[in-house]
Amino acid sequence: MTASDPCFLSVAEAASLIAAKRLSPVELVQAYLARIERLNDTLHAYVRLLPDEALAAARSAEAEIAAGRHRGPLHGIPIGLKDIYDTAGVATEGGSRLCLGRVPAADATTTRLLKQAGAILLGKLTTWEFAIGGTAFDTPFPPARNPWDPERDPAGSSSGSGAAVAAGLCAMAMGSDTGGSIRWPAAWCGLAGLKPTYGRVSRAGIMPLSFSLDHAGPLTWTVEDAAIVLQAIAGHDPHDPASADRPVPDYRAALVSSDLRGVRLGIARSMFERDCPSSGAMGTAFETAVEVLRGLGAAVAEIELPPLALYNATASLITRSEGFAIHEKTLRERPQDYGALARDRLTIGAYVRASNMVQAMRRRLMLVEATDAAMAGFDAILLPTCPDPAPVLGELGPYFDNRRPMYMRPFNLTGQPALSLCNGFDDTGLPLSLQIVGRHFDEATVLHIGHAYERATPWRERRPPL
Amino acid sequence: MADRIEDRFAVETELLGLKLLPGQEANLRAAYAALREAIALVGADYPFEAEPAHVFVPAACIERRR
């Protein structure tokens, strides 16, 4: 990776070159725009490009940096935002016919923080309709495709975010995660995807799906890049009632060492061997990863968590109920304007009674406590992100999670930080995944483990064959 | 309340005043069956004092109960 391939630089690499004035933000933006022009008709990662605004911002960044006013590692870095992140003066349509022409007056808090850090917005990225609709063909926006094989699904709901970062169409992208929608596209597109602790990153100005399960976070090429982005967006926001007023540590400081001696990892084997057995390639890659982590000094043992189905049933009732509450008015007045998948997946929430929802929240607290108790003596949980690599686009169907449950929703329910990272490739070249789950507000340990693993493996040397 | 899940779905749909679009009923009926399973799995037999999660303070919620 050199400055001659600017679209394949990590955020950290590009930031270093920009700070040394060896890479021009203007040239970097131009390189991304040219690549988007070449590939977006195939991948459908972007729904809206902002070339003039991006070039103007790049010229401004270049002038600031030349004048000695370098803001930090995101200054001059081109990014994309899932199209549920509000952007002042720029349409934010949530992948839905219902929101066509919706132009927010203000930026989401995360949008504002990224701009303040000097990041340059290239455009808005494809999302499943309202972050729930699935891979749909009946909305105004074609579904994004997987850069590792455009016939395959990139996963969602942050589908464009996963496709764009993997394909080198932006240096990093923001996604949202209610049941896995950051980690899932990260897994199927071979990226790092970080769902921070609930309350760590503001949700203000991001279209809601499920108030108590929604999380915002980055999809990046490397774990180090995720740490850089988290540094810029973490912290208390009075505009988000769920925002936590907790100190924000130096996340990159946690990455200086690959020594994992003293780190205790718990393998949640019951989830991916008993509750929903993972595919052979995923399981083999997982066991290899465990040996790598042991080799780095980590102590590894088994951890017993409650059944996956119980976490998923509880999260499902909450998501459906909260999602229906948000959409009830428009579902009743304009049902024909939703895509069929989003309409059905939101409407079913009408059938969740108030007492069902309260029981789910009671069960939720029990599961939070049980997970916390199981983690006694461990720093993090280790398991795959999902059981299989990416299927052919359109194969998922509306109720895929009932047939092959993923391993992500438990940690939306508990609110713990969870990182998905690339764990090699199967025989056909599709990415496999590894998930690291930490204690509340301990993103630093999760990032430390992920970064150490990434540095010890060759998976970042391969890019999609585009 | 009707015994069969199809009948129960129809009764609840009417009570909720939902106007389903053509083709939507079959999909929702399948989702309804899965929803009933989720409700059964979550259960309703909790001690009186079992608190729901206070989601806006996930960590404090644990600390308070230690």
- Determine whether the interchain pair A344/B27 forms a contact, defined as Cβ–Cβ distance below 8 Å: yes
**Residue A181 lies in domain:** 6-461
Write out chain A residues lying below 8 Å of B56, CB-based.
199, 212, 241-242
Cβ separation of A352 and B57 shorter than 8 Å? no
State which residues form the domain around B40: 5-65
**CA-CA-CA-CA dihedral for A284, A287, A292, A296, to nearest 10:** 170
List all residues 6 or more positions away from A265 whose beta carbon is below 8 Å from its beta carbon: A290, A293, A298, A299, A300, A301, A378, A379, A380, A381, A382, A449
Query: Which residues 6+ apart lie within 8 Å of B19 measured at CB?
Result: A332, A335
Question: Tell me: the pLDDT tens digits for A59-96?
Answer: 999 999 999 999 999 999 999 999 999 999 999 999 99
Distances (CA, A) of A293 to A252, A286, A400, A408: 20, 11, 32, 21
Substitution target in A320, A324, A351, A358 with the highest count of B β-carbons within 10 Å is A351
CA A462 to mean position of chain CA atoms: 20
Instruction: Give the helix ranges, DSSP H, for A49-105.
Output: 51-66
Cβ atoms of residues A389 and A281 within 8 Å: yes
Q: Is residue A175 part of a domain?
A: yes
Count other Cβ atoms within 10 Å, centred on residue A101: 6
CATH number of the CATH domain containing A160: 3.90.1300.10
DSSP state of A388: S
Chain-chain contact of A244 with B59 (C-beta, under 8 angstroms): yes
pLDDT tens for each residue of chain A, 466 residues long: 344 589 999 999 999 999 999 999 999 999 999 999 999 999 999 999 999 999 999 999 999 999 999 999 999 999 999 999 999 999 999 999 999 999 999 999 999 999 999 999 999 999 999 999 999 999 999 999 999 999 999 999 999 999 999 999 999 999 999 999 999 999 999 999 999 999 999 999 999 999 999 999 999 999 999 999 999 999 999 999 899 999 999 999 989 999 999 999 999 999 999 999 999 999 999 999 999 999 999 999 999 999 999 999 999 999 999 999 999 999 999 999 999 999 999 999 999 999 999 999 999 999 999 999 999 999 999 999 999 999 999 888 776 666 789 999 999 999 999 999 999 999 999 999 999 999 999 999 999 999 999 999 999 999 999 9
**Minimum-distance CB partner of B42 among A241, A314, A372:** A314
**Domain contains A1:** no
CA A207 remoteness from chain centre: 15
Backbone angles phi, psi at A384, to 5 degrees: -65, 165
Which residue bears the tokens 């022009």?
A: A37
> Does B58 contact chain A (CB < 8 Å)?
yes
Query: What domain count does chain B have?
Result: 1
Q: Which two tokens stand for residue B6?
A: 């199809």
A298 lies in some domain: yes
pLDDT digits (tens, 9 = 90+) for A412-430: 999 999 999 999 999 999 9
pLDDT of B63 higher than 70: no
- pLDDT tens digits along B7-33: 999 999 999 999 999 989 999 999 999
Q: In chain B, what residues touch A440 (CB-CB under 8 Å)?
A: 58-59, 62
- Is A319 in contact with A209 (CB distance < 8 Å)? yes
Identify from A363, A400, A413, A441 which residue to disrupt to test chain B contact, counting B C-beta atoms within 10 A and taking the largest count: A363
Respond yes or no: is residue A157 known to be catalytic.
Answer: yes
Torsions phi, psi of A424, nearest 5? 90, -165
- Segment holding A455, helix H or strand E: helix A443-456
Report helix, strand or coil for B2.
Answer: coil
Domain count, chain A: 1
Could you give the CA distance from residue A182 to residue A162 in angstroms, rounded to a whole number?
A: 8
Interface subset of B 6-35, CB within 8 angstroms of A = 9, 12, 16-21, 23-24, 27-28, 30-32, 34-35
A365–B52 C-beta distance less than 8 A: yes
Closest partner CB to B21 (pick from A312, A335, A440): A335
Residue linked to tokens 């195939």 = A42
Interchain pair B42, A366: CB under 8 A:
no
Name the catalytic one among A24, A157, A278, A321: A157
Q: What angle do CA A378, A383, A384 make, to 5 degrees?
A: 160
- The pTM is what? 0.96
CA distances from A394 to A33, A143, A146, A427 (A): 28, 9, 12, 22
